[in-house]
Amino acid sequence: MTPAAQIIRRSVQTLVAALCLLVARPARGESEATVKAAYLLNFAKLVAWPASAFASGQPLVIGVVGREAAAEELARSFAGASANGRRIEVRHVPAGDTSALVACHLVFVPEGERAESVVGAVQGYPVLVVGEVENFVRRGGTLGFVKESGTLKFEANPKAAARNGLTVSAKLLRVARSVVER
In the complex, the smallest distance separating the C-beta of residue 100 from another protein, rounded to whole angstroms, is 20
| Residue 161: closest CA among 134, 133, 181 | 181
Rounded CA separation 166/47 (Å): 7
- DSSP strand pairing (143-148 vs 128-131): parallel
Rounded CA separation 126/128 (Å): 7
CA atoms within 13 A on the CB side of 120: 7
Piece of 2-10, 97-105, 120-128, 157-165 that binds another protein (CB under 8 A): 2-10
CA distances to 86, 87, 113 from 54, rounded to whole Å, are 10, 12, 27
Q: Quick check: 168 and 128 in contact, CB under 8 A? A: no
Which member of 9, 58, 120, 181 binds another protein (CB under 8 A)? 9
In the complex, the smallest distance separating the C-beta of residue 52 from another protein, rounded to whole angstroms, is 27
Residue 86, judged by CB atoms within 10 A of its CB (0-12, 13-18, 19+), counts as middle
* CA trace torsion 84, 124, 75, 47 (10° rounding): -30
Print the binding letters for residues 140-159 with another protein: x by CB under 8 A, - otherwise. -------x-xxxxx------
Which member of 7, 12, 162, 170 binds another protein (CB under 8 A)? 12
Contacting residues for 17 by C-beta, under 8 A, at least 6 apart: none
Which member of 87, 138, 159, 163 binds another protein (CB under 8 A)? 138
Print the binding letters for residues 74-113 with another protein: x by CB under 8 A, - otherwise. --xxxxxx------------------------------xx
- Residue 21 or 55: the one with the smaller Cβ distance to another protein is 21
In the complex, the smallest distance separating the C-beta of residue 19 from another protein, rounded to whole angstroms, is 7
Q: Which residues bind another protein (CB under 8 A)?
A: 1, 5, 8-9, 12-13, 16-17, 19-21, 24-28, 30-32, 34-35, 37-39, 41-42, 46, 67, 69, 76-81, 112-114, 133-135, 138, 147, 149-153, 171-172, 175
